[in-house]
Structure formats: structure tokens, C-alpha cells
Amino acid sequence: MISIAISALVLCAATYLIARHEAEISLPVILMICVGVNIIGGFLGIMIGPFALLVTVVLLAWALQKFCYLPWSKAFAVTGIYLVTNVLLAFGLRALKS
């Protein structure tokens, strides 16, 4: 649960850094996007394995374009930053757990 909250804050910060003048940066909207993408990505990861990462990238970029009004190029840039920080967050939380 804490990782989704941190991911939402990271996505909000990345959206602000990339497209502060073009995007609607609202924490509740971005939190709903994070929760939806994480749930769908988790189910797809169970069903189709590594192919789920590609679907998750496209889904997150589409959600940012649709709900935060980002252009496609900036949506994919924010998605890239989000995915890199999510991987680092997962490794960091796993290291804390050990």
C-alpha cells in the first residue's frame, strides 16, 4: 500500500517536471491512475507474464494522455520516469524487508 502512495507522488512529481504548464496535475486523479494501472498490471503479470510490462506502459501513457491531458510524447516520457522509479522502489523496499 505504501508503494502505491509513493508511486503516485513520484508520478505527480514527474508530471510536474515534464509538463507543468500543459497537464492537469491533481493528486487524486494521479492516485486513481496509479491504483488502476498497478491492479491491471498485476493481473496481467499473473496471466501473460513479461508481456504485461509493455501493456502497462501503453496503458499508463494512455491514462496520462486521457485524464491529465498530456501529449503522447510527454506521456511516454513521464511513463519512463515512473517505471524506472518503480523498479528502484521495489528493490529498495525488498532490501529493507531483508
pLDDT tens-digit readout, 34-88: 999 989 988 998 999 888 889 999 999 999 999 999 999 999 999 999 999 988 9
CA distances from residue 38 to 27, 60, 69, 97 in whole angstroms, order as listed: 16, 9, 20, 21
Q: Is the pLDDT of residue 2 over 90?
A: no
Largest CA distance in the chain: 42
pLDDT band at 32 (very low <50, low <70, confident <90, very high): very high
**46, 7 contact by CB (below 8 A):** no
Q: Is residue 90 a contact partner of residue 3, using CB atoms and an 8 Å limit? A: yes
Q: How high is the pLDDT of residue 96?
A: 86
- The per-residue pLDDT for 93 is 82
